[in-house]
Amino acid sequence: MRYLLDTAALLWALDDWQRLNKRAQDVLQDRAQELFLSPVVSWEMVIKAGRGKLRLSKSARELVQRAISDFGALSLPITHEHSLALAGLPDLHSDPLDRMLIAQAQTENLTVMTADEMIGKYPVDTFWCAR
């Protein structure tokens, strides 16, 4: 399968493994699965860390590089197609970063690995990663 990791899923995978359920741990360790990271995730880490709302174990750059090396995660660039897909999303959630992840997942036929219940309210495939 093809998964798009949200910020919490990424951070838990790297620094808080026990918060992930067994299924999520198995997916992350299975190199046959395709894992994708959006710039939205690094953007959110930088913004929240800069505002003191998120404490990172390393720099956002180092965490993204570690996800690429540890899990074989692939970068998923943001395209105009993704941005334009936002127009078709219902107005359920005010977080623009989550909405972009949803638009990317829909456009690219990816499953969002998340622990955010709001994402599950959108017409997008989700994979619950929390215990």
One pLDDT digit (tens) per residue for the chain, 131 residues: 999 999 999 999 999 999 999 999 999 999 999 999 999 999 999 999 999 999 999 999 999 999 999 999 999 999 999 999 999 999 998 899 999 999 999 999 999 999 999 999 999 999 999 99
Indicate the domain borders of the chain. 2-128
The answer to whether residues 127 and 114 touch, using CB atoms and an 8 Å cutoff, is yes
* CATH architecture of residue range(s) 2-128: 3-Layer(aba) Sandwich (3.40)
Each residue of 26-37: b (16+ CB within 10 Å) or e?
A: ebbeeeebebbb
What pTM was estimated for this model as a whole? 0.96
